[in-house]
Structure 1
């Protein structure tokens, strides 16, 4: 992993807080690798503010081990990737959901995800299990 990676303790999940067996969030800003392959179940795609006025926004990818993480507030991502100065994010050959109640795009049912950075553009590709109808809780 690169020098910019840091482990962040989730509230109540570190050994000093007394909780055990909870995963830590690995946050990586501007990874050195141009191609990242990661095993995951879902990814939330969002943006945050520009670092400098003359740049594009920062793309934020939150990686999860469950589907629909936005519906469960007790779930934390395993990884957070922040890519500064990103003009656009391309999503290739994946089924996505855009929930209008929030700003995030959700990609569920993943086996693995490839994140490819080419200058100011990100491309997301991956292997996805095709699910036509989801079980709904009533």
Structure 2
């Protein structure tokens, strides 16, 4: 079974944000993925929507045996298990969330479907907090 190197970006702006991120990382690990590196925690203002809740974000590099779509389904399962039921794509916009996990990079693969785009261009190029977190990861 081949291993793939994946960069994930995680964020939370509801409840105990740091604990939410740590819980999500633990669930990623429990799913048979190896966590290789975790960034520092970074707080940031909400992007593309208005909220008084500040985000806490981290980046992580993992090894996984899952394909891009299998990984997407896996992390969406974690989000739902943790209490996030409204996906931004399905809802048509952003809102406060207990956890958000994005696949930023998957090996050197370029992948595009209705559900997933890799590399995640918004995080690589447009969002300042992402550039800060990912500077040592990409």
TM-score by length of 1: 0.26
| Structure holding more helix per residue | 2
- Whose relative contact order is higher, 1 or 2, with alpha carbons under 8 Å and at least 6 apart? 2
Q: Which has the larger radius of gyration?
A: 1
| Structure holding more strand per residue | 1
